[in-house]
C-alpha cells in the first residue's frame, strides 16, 4: 500500500509547441519516499520532473492540460508564486554545476539572494546542509576554498547541499549520477537513503540497477505515457505490462 500522496499528477498532458510529449499522466507520489522515473530516451521523464517545479515555464510555446498538486495545492493556483514554489522544490541536475564561488558561498547562495546575511545563521545552514549531503567531514577545513577544487562526486554532493539549504519539501534529481564514477554514484545513492527521511525525492535515471537499489516506487514511461507505476521490486520482478517487461529485461533501451 502506498502512503498518502504528497505529489499528485492529475491527468497531466504537456506540449512543446505542436508536439505533445506527455499524455494524460496520473501519478501519486508518496511523501518521504524515493520515486524513480525510468524509460527510454525521449519518453518524457525529464519533462514531467521539470513540471513539478514549473521549470518548463521558462520554455517558449509550452502548453499543459490537467494539474499537478503538492500537498493538496495546485501548482497552477494563481496564488502560487513560482519563486516560493522553487523554494519548496529543490533540484539537482545531471551535470554538477557549482557556482564559481567558495564551498561556503555555494551552499548559502539562495540565502544571500534572499538577503539573509546573519553569520551565525549562515554558518549553521552551511554545516547542516553539508552534513545532510554527507560532505561536511571532507570539506569542513576548506569551506572558503573554491568549489571547483572538489572531485566530481564532491561537487555533486555540494549541489545537493545547496539544494537542501532552503529546506525544501521535495528534491528533484535529474540523472544525478550520470557524470559520476561508480564509487561516487554509490555515495550519492547512500546519501539519498538518508535524505528521504526529510525530503520526498523524485529521481530520473537511465540506470535500472540504480532504480532497483534506491527507489521505493518506480514509474515506467514509454512514448510520453505512464505505462506502469508500482513498488520497485514488484515492477522489476513481476511487470504487468508487456512493454515494461521488455524494457526491464533489456529488450530495448
Ligand atoms: N525544450 C524543448 N523543446 C522542444 N522539445 C523538447 C524540449 N525538451 C524536450 N523536448 C522533447 O520532448 C520529448 C521528451 O523529452 P524528455 O527530455 O522529457 O525525455 P526523457 O525521457 O527525459 O529523455 P532522456 O532520457 O533522453 O533525457 C523529446 O522528444 C524531446 O526531444
Q: Domain boundaries in the chain?
A: 5-97+170-248
CATH architecture under which domain 5-97+170-248 falls: 3-Layer(aba) Sandwich (3.40)
- 47: CA distance to ligand 1 center in Å? 6
The whole-number pLDDT of residue 159 equals 96
**Site residues for ligand 1, CB cut-off 6 Å:** 16, 21, 39, 41-47, 59, 206
The β-bridge relationship of strands 170-174 and 89-92 is parallel
Instruction: Assign 10 to helix, strand or coil.
Output: strand
The β-bridge relationship of strands 34-38 and 200-204 is parallel
The whole-number pLDDT of residue 88 equals 92
Which residues fall within 8 angstroms of residue 131, CB to CB, at 6 or more apart? none
pLDDT in tens, 132-153: 999 999 999 999 999 999 999 9
The whole-number pLDDT of residue 83 equals 85
Q: In whole numbers, what is the pLDDT of the chain averaged over residues?
A: 94
Which of 43, 51, 178 has most ligand 1 atoms within 8 Å of its beta carbon, as the pocket-test mutant?
A: 43
- What is the reported pTM? 0.95
ipTM above threshold 0.90: yes
Nearest CA to ligand 1 atom 1: 59
The whole-number pLDDT of residue 86 equals 86
Do residues 246 and 252 touch, judged by C-beta distance below 8 A? yes
Which residues fall within 8 angstroms of residue 62, CB to CB, at 6 or more apart? 14, 15, 16, 17, 56
Q: Using CB atoms within 10 Å of the CB of residue 209, give its burial: 0 to 12 exposed, 13 to 18 middle, 19+ buried.
A: exposed
- 126: CA distance to ligand 1 center in Å? 35
pLDDT in tens, 77-87: 998 888 888 88
Q: DSSP state, 164? A: H
Q: In the chain, which residues have pLDDT < 70? A: 1-4
Amino acid at each position: 500500500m502506498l502512503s498518502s500522496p504528497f505529489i499528485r499528477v492529475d491527468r497531466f498532458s504537456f506540449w512543446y509547441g505542436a508536439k505533445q510529449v506527455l499524455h494524460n499522466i496520473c501519478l501519486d507520489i508518496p511523501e518521504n519516499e524515493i520515486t524513480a522515473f525510468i524509460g527510454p530516451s525521449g519518453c518524457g521523464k525529464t519533462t514531467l520532473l521539470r513540471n513539478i517545479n514549473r521549470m518548463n515555464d521558462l520554455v517558449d510555446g509550452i502548453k499543459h492540460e490537467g494539474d499537478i498538486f503538492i500537498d493538496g495545492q495546485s501548482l497552477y493556483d494563481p496564488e502560487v508564486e513560482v519563486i516560493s514554489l522553487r523554494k519548496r522544490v529543490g533540484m539537482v541536475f545531471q551535470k554538477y554545476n557549482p557556482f564559481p564561488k567558495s564551498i561556503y558561498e555555494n551552499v548559502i547562495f539562495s540565502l544571500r539572494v534572499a538577503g539573509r546575511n546573519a553569520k551565525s545563521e549562515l554558518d549553521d545552514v552551511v554545516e547542516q546542509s553539508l552534513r545532510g549531503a554527507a560532505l561536511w567531514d571532507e570539506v569542513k577545513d576548506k569551506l572558503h576554498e573554491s568549489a571547483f577544487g572538489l572531485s566530481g562526486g564532491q561537487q555533486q554532493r555540494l549541489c545537493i547541499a545547496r539544494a537542501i539549504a532552503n529546506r525544501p519539501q521535495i528534491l528533484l534529481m535529474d540523472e544525478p549520477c550520470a557524470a559520476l564514477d561508480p564509487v561516487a554514484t554509490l555515495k550519492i545513492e547512500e546519501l539519498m537513503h538518508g535524505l528521504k527521511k526529510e525530503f520526498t525525492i523524485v529521481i530520473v535515471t537511465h540506470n535500472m540497477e540504480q532504480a532497483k537499489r534506491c527507489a521505493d516506487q518506480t514509474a515506467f514511461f514509454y512514448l510520453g505515457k505512464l505505462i506502469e507505476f508500482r513498488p520497485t521490486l514488484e515492477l522489476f520482478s513481476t511487470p504487468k505490462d508487456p512493454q515494461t517487461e521488455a524494457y526491464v529485461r533489456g529488450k530495448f533501451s
